[in-house]
Structure 1
Amino acid sequence: MDLAAKQGPQDLELIAFFDLETVRTGEQEWEIVEFGAILVCPRTLVQVGEPYSTLIRPSRKDIVDNFSDRPNGITRQAIANAPSFTEVAGDIYGILHGRVWAGHNIEEFDCGLIKEAYAESKRKAPWYKFLIDTHPLLRQWFGKRAGDLKLATLGDYFGHGEQKHRSLDDVSRNLKVLKDAAAVLFLESNFPNLLPENTWIAPKSISESCISATHAPFKDGSQKICILHENLPLQVHCMGMKVLYGIDKKLNEPWLSFAVVVPPKLYDVLNVCDAHALRRFGELGINSEWKPVVKEDYNRYIHLSLNDETKIWRDGHPTMERVEHTELGDDELKMLFDQEETYVDAFFSLDTFINYNKMAGITLVAKKLFIHPRLPARAI
């Protein structure tokens, strides 16, 4: 199939992955020197038809004359002999118009250049059905584990080899990165203990004699106490905990938290953690009032805190809607936890603190929450 040919309604369902190579012509000015695209089936992420790419001659002769040859094959002679944007504008329009557009950092960069190029050529610009920019998408879901999230860095992370900075090569790399990241996130969501550095331990598997605490320098130069289990940072997953009361934001504290009834085994584990951390704080000469992690009332309960990295699954299944709490309004967030008989499967870390009131203790920071409107059968 010729990508630039006129397509029917079924073909418009295909995703247009594209990339531009550019030359800088001013402080905030760029011109396109190459366009490349492939069409992809949204159901299978398989390429459909042949790819399309073309070098493009810049609009001004001085840009061509001052162009420095690149080792990837984009040379002064090559772009001097290339068609102008006006000559290929119809082909590019046929590929992009009415489709879903996808690419890396295209919202901030490529889309604007395409719009400008069509305006300068006095042609109608293509429009997209909606946009998939993989840069903010990966920043939200994949985090900073792959560094700066540039396409070259992501390719190195997944072992795709050196980036060539040619449009079609970058498009292919982008699609491979997206598939690989999706596979990793799928495995992590379904098998949270898959990676050693992400080991989450159920309370029943925690040996209290293997719990310890150690001093560690914090990012601001102060000392931090790390809670360990078998010499690794202790990260806990506990299933089917009943929500005692929902979202609470305390005065002068930036984080949100909610309370859950603490199961007996977790109660014992957290008391041991408290004792180790308190002793280490004492060795540092810190005499702040200690705030026990378990609250004693008519129920024994703990607070689970939410931060910017907390991910929430509604209805307790990874394939259901996943959100960050920062995406929800106060009312929406409260509704998640205020239903009668709400239970959570929680994956949380143990962070020590000293606050402005000279109080110290352990904060349980929720990393992942699976919310159930009733007690899951597997937790009974």
Structure 2
Amino acid sequence: MPEEGNQRTSDPSTNRESVELVSHIEEMKLDTTTHMDASSSGYSGFLEPDDVSIECIEISVAPLHQFGRRSSIQHRDCPLQLCCAGLKVQFGVSTKFLDNAGRPKMSIVVEIPESLSKVLEFCDDLARKLSQESGSSSEWRPLIKKYGYVNRPTVRLNIPTIANSDATAYSTDICQKEPSGSIQELDFSNVATTELDSLFVKGCKVDAFFSPELYDYQQNAGIRLVAKRLVVHSN
């Protein structure tokens, strides 16, 4: 029979602290932002969240001839353009959302790290206040939404198209990154949700270069994130 001094007891508080520590470490992993060299990709004007000084963000309002005025988000007197690597796709392209011509709106929903969330929340609050002060009666649509039991912040990245007399094409540069690190620009034969649906699958990672643009249209106002370049990671 073992001596009393050698008996081991399980302390519930210790076990609970261990579980909480593991959970905290996992959250830290999720919030870690992967850095990328934007200049080497030809997108040197795009800033990573950590390179943005929130106190240097402002809304610039300029007259637009007879059409009123145009507002834009500026950072150090330049249009704010952002980039962030390794964003996880939450929702791919869907036919649920249509434009004025009845065509599907091309967009994806991605989870974002806390660093990017803070920058976008500041822009959203600043633009919403300006909209209210200007007397707009439009309903403000929040930029950041949270889904799922983990309640992580997500945003929608819009993939605009350009129509000409011959065909319609994506104005977003869409590329694929191989496990070796090489990046190949994809060439699409036409614009269709099926093409992007098979590319932007739930759970895949994307490096995104995008611009926040203000809108106030048909009693809806907010910030739209327009994707300039999307690099999909191959499995």
Does the CA contact (< 8 Å) of 2:176 and 2:183 recur in 1? no
Give the count of matched residue pairs: 180
The equivalent position to 1:192 in structure 2, one of 43, 46, 64, is 43
1:62-115 CA-partner distances (Å, limit 9, x unpaired): xxxxxxxxxxxxxxxxxxxxxxxxxxxxxxxxxxxxxxxxxxxxxxxxxxxxxx
1:246 and 1:285, CA in 2 relative to 1: closer, same or farther beyond 3 A?
same
Q: How does 1:331-370 map to 2 (within 5 A)?
A: 331-338=194-201, 341-356=203-218, 358-370=219-231
Task: Measure, in 2, the Cα distance between the counterparts of 1:335 and 1:311.
Answer: 17
Q: Equivalent residue for 2:174?
A: 312
Task: Measure, in 2, the Cα distance between the counterparts of 1:219 and 1:323.
Answer: 38
Percent identity (aligned): 32
Does the CA contact (< 8 Å) of 1:215 and 1:280 recur in 2? no
1:232 and 1:337, CA in 2 relative to 1: closer, same or farther beyond 3 A?
same
Task: Measure, in 2, the Cα distance between the counterparts of 1:252 and 1:205.
Answer: 34
1:230-288 CA-partner distances (Å, limit 9, x unpaired): 11110000100000010124134553111000110111100100111112222321121
Instruction: Give SS of 1:337's match.
Output: coil
If the length of structure 1 is used for normalisation, what is the TM-score? Answer: 0.44
1:367 and 1:285, CA in 2 relative to 1: closer, same or farther beyond 3 A?
same
1:212 and 1:274, CA in 2 relative to 1: closer, same or farther beyond 3 A?
same
Does the CA contact (< 8 Å) of 1:241 and 1:261 recur in 2? yes
Task: Measure, in 2, the Cα distance between the counterparts of 1:264 and 1:319.
Answer: 27
Task: Measure, in 1, the Cα distance between the counterparts of 2:106 and 2:64.
Answer: 22
The equivalent position to 1:225 in structure 2, one of 49, 53, 71, is 71
Given residue 138 of structure 2, which amino acid in structure 1 is its aligned partner?
S
Q: Do residues 300 (structure 1) and 163 (structure 2) align?
A: no
Given residue 372 of structure 1, which amino acid in structure 2 is its aligned partner?
H
Q: Equivalent residue for 1:70?
A: none
Q: Unaligned regions of 5+ residues in structure 1, if any?
A: 1-186, 194-198, 375-380
Q: Unaligned regions of 5+ residues in structure 2, if any?
A: 1-37, 162-170
Q: Equivalent residue for 2:132?
A: 282
1:238 and 1:218, CA in 2 relative to 1: closer, same or farther beyond 3 A?
farther
1:330 and 1:191, CA in 2 relative to 1: closer, same or farther beyond 3 A?
closer
Higher relative contact order (CA 8 A, sep 6+): 2
Q: Equivalent residue for 1:321?
A: 185
Task: Measure, in 1, the Cα distance between the counterparts of 2:109 and 2:84.
Answer: 14
1:26-48 CA-partner distances (Å, limit 9, x unpaired): xxxxxxxxxxxxxxxxxxxxxxx
